[in-house]
């Protein structure tokens, strides 16, 4: 099968840390990304737990408050759908 190039953007420090991490495991970044892609396709899901950062947690808490107090959610029509999209 033909090989294709994929370009992604990431923080330079993260890239350096990830490259070092992969090297410690005896992998290239390309091999690590291919492992991720193959596993995600096979399992039809992200193959690890996603741990939300503080900003995501605050947004989810705000959505919960909107569910409890309709006035806070003015302009939003389906908070449950929005939460599912955030967590997807």
Give the integer Cα–Cα distance in Å for 76 and 52. Answer: 22
Residue 41 has what pLDDT?
Answer: 95
From first to last of the 88 residues of the chain, give the pLDDT tens digit: 899 999 988 999 999 999 999 999 999 999 999 999 999 999 999 898 878 888 888 877 887 887 777 676 666 556 666 666 666 6
Residue 67 has what pLDDT?
Answer: 76
> In this structure, are 61 and 81 located in the same domain?
yes
Is 1 within the bounds of a domain?
no
> In this structure, are 39 and 60 located in the same domain?
no
DSSP for 3-53, please give it.
---------HHHHHHHHHHHHHTT--HHHHHHHHHHHHHHHTS-SS-----
For residue 35, what are the domain limits? 12-43
Give the integer Cα–Cα distance in Å for 59 and 69. Answer: 15
Residue 83 has what pLDDT?
Answer: 66
Residue 23 has what pLDDT?
Answer: 97
Is 3 within the bounds of a domain?
no
Q: Determine the 3-state secondary structure of 65 from DSSP.
A: helix
């Amino acid at each position: 099968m033909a090989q294709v190039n994929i370009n992604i953007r990431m923080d330079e420090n993260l890239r350096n840390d990830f490259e070092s991490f992969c090297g410690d495991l005896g992998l290239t970044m390309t091999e690590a990304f291919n492992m991720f892609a193959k596993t995600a396709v096979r399992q039809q899901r992200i193959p690890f737990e996603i741990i939300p950062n503080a900003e995501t947690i605050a947004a989810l808490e705000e959505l919960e408050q909107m569910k409890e107090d309709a006035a806070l959610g003015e302009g939003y029509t389906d908070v449950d759908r929005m939460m599912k999209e955030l967590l997807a």
